[in-house]
């Protein structure tokens, strides 16, 4: 099937843009058939009117419109601040639950509703929220981004938060599967290793997923090596994405990789069936063999529907040039359900 330049199915790559408006080379990049979404950062925000105009320009480039996302969790991870409500960090709801378990879910609902409503108003489709990670004393890097150290309490607060997002018309994207809360390392700068057995992870980190799997439309992977479970990080792992997430948890939504330019993804040692497929593809010369293309292809073979490449436009262009991908309506329809206009929550 052939497509016109401006009528393209959504592809499996999420990229970013540099500033407050689009440059011509960025418009060209966003028209590549492999692109399906754009993530915005604080550098892309000056005012509500400015970001609304930027998003409108992004979405006018092609049909169906590219998805637009942002990290707007609250606390220390809130990209849009001026003229937006300053949102509390997730653990504020956990602290409140310790004092008043009746009002904490209500406050979580209200914060999520505010977050989602304000983003939808300027054209954002979804925030990468909420954080499903169950915090531990070892995890300073996640820390106050988690709702609670008790997985059942975390699931209760997460459920209320998701209800608030849904009430505003936004889907929920859980991160970082299967859990980033058990390690001290920051996967932006290193490859953290979690030595716990699958039984412990299931009884702790996977509880929010077990409780809420039918309430989330997307999952973002963790760049953490669970060394007792698999020799690949979840981003590259058939075990985590297919056996655990798709089969055992029966998740049917969109799987996102975390940013493939993070050190955790770069340092990860791949393995498993997805790596075998990848090696076969390289041996057949059917894909380019640069590191970013290898990483993306590996993630897609493992089960990621969309891969993120952030803050490195040179690598984004390298990936778009080398990735083996044929535009298809099935993936595009799946991704389109994340749109704030298209989702039937």
Is residue 66 a part of any domain in this protein? yes
Give mean pLDDT, residues 129-133.
96
> Which of 3-7, 28-32, 58-62, 170-174 comes out lowest in average pLDDT?
3-7
* Paired tokens of 156: 């209760």
Instruction: Tell me how long the chain is.
Output: 345
Residue 269 has pLDDT above 50, yes or no: no
Q: Where are the beta strands (DSSP E) in 126-172?
A: 126-127
pLDDT value of residue 180: 84
Is residue 1 a part of any domain in this protein? no
pLDDT value of residue 189: 65
Is residue 245 a part of any domain in this protein? yes
* Paired tokens of 40: 């915005």
Residue 282 has pLDDT above 50, yes or no: no
Residue 32 has pLDDT above 60, yes or no: yes
The reply to whether 32 belongs to the active site is no
Q: Name the residue with higher pLDDT: 182 or 144.
A: 144
Give mean pLDDT, residues 39-65.
97
Sign of CA dihedral 62, 67, 70, 74: positive
Is residue 345 a part of any domain in this protein? no
Containing structural domain, residue 53: 13-336
Give mean pLDDT, residues 106-134.
97
Does 176 sit behind a cis peptide bond, omega within 30 degrees of 0 on the bond before it?
A: yes
Give pLDDT tens digits for 283-322: 554 444 458 999 999 999 999 999 999 999 999 999 999 9
Is residue 68 a part of any domain in this protein? yes
Is residue 343 a part of any domain in this protein? no
Is residue 81 a part of any domain in this protein? yes
pLDDT value of residue 139: 57
Residue 44's domain is classified under what CATH number? 3.20.20.300
Give mean pLDDT, residues 22-38.
98
| Gap between the Cα atoms of 258 and 274, Å rounded | 17
pLDDT value of residue 95: 96
Q: Which of 16, 91, 258, 305 is catalytic?
A: 258
The reply to whether 25 belongs to the active site is no
Give pLDDT tens digits for 141-181: 778 999 999 999 999 999 999 999 999 999 999 999 998 87
Q: Which of 71, 150, 186, 188 is catalytic?
A: 188
pLDDT value of residue 286: 44
pLDDT value of residue 198: 96
Residue 337 has pLDDT above 80, yes or no: yes
> Which of 32-41, 219-228, 258-267 comes out lowest in average pLDDT?
258-267
Q: Name the residue with higher pLDDT: 224 or 112.
A: 112
Give pLDDT tens digits for 212-247: 999 999 999 999 999 999 999 999 999 999 999 999
Tell me which residue of 254, 257, 321 sits closest to 28, measured CA to CA: 321
Residue 136 has pLDDT above 90, yes or no: no
Residue 47 has pLDDT above 80, yes or no: yes
Is residue 41 a part of any domain in this protein? yes
Q: How many domains are there within the chain?
A: 1
| High-pLDDT (> 90) share of the chain, % | 79
Q: Where are the beta strands (DSSP E) in 180-323?
A: 193-194, 218-221, 225-226, 254-259, 306-308
Whole-Å CA distances, 10 to 34, 62, 68, 169, 329: 7, 9, 12, 21, 8
Q: Give pTM, 2 decimals.
A: 0.92
pLDDT value of residue 272: 47
């Amino acid at each position: 099937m052939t497509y016109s330049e401006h009528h393209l199915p959504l592809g499996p790559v999420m990229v970013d843009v540099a500033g407050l408006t689009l440059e011509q080379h960025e418009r060209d990049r966003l028209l590549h058939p492999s692109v399906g979404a754009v993530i915005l950062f604080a550098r892309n925000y000056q005012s509500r009117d400015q970001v609304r105009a930027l998003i409108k320009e992004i979405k006018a480039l092609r049909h169906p419109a590219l998805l637009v996302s942002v990290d707007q969790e609250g606390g220390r991870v809130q990209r849009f601040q001026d003229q937006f409500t300053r949102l509390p960090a997730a653990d504020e709801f956990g602290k409140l639950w310790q004092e008043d378990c009746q009002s904490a879910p209500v406050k979580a609902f209200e914060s999520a509703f505010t977050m989602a409503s304000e983003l939808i108003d300027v054209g954002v489709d979804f925030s990468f929220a909420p954080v499903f990670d169950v915090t531990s004393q070892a995890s300073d890097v996640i820390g106050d981004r988690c709702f609670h150290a008790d997985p059942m309490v975390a699931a209760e607060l997460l459920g209320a938060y998701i209800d608030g997002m849904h009430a505003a018309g936004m889907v929920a994207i859980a991160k970082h599967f299967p859990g980033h809360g058990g390690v001290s390392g920051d996967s932006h700068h290193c490859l953290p290793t979690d030595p716990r057995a699958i039984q412990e992870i299931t009884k702790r980190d996977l509880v929010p997923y077990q409780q809420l799997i039918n309430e989330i439309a997307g999952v973002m992977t963790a760049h953490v090596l669970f060394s007792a479970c698999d020799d690949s990080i979840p981003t590259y792992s058939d075990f985590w994405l297919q056996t655990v997430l798709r089969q055992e948890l029966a998740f049917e939504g969109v799987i996102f990789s975390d940013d493939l330019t993070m050190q955790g993804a770069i340092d990860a040692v791949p393995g498993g069936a997805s790596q075998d497929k990848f090696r076969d593809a390289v041996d057949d010369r059917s894909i380019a063999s640069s590191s970013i293309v290898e990483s993306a292809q590996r993630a897609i073979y493992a089960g990621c529907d969309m891969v993120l490449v952030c803050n490195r436009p040179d690598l984004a262009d390298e990936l778009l040039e080398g990735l083996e991908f044929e535009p298809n309506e099935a993936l595009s329809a799946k991704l389109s359900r994340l749109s704030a206009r298209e989702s039937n929550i």
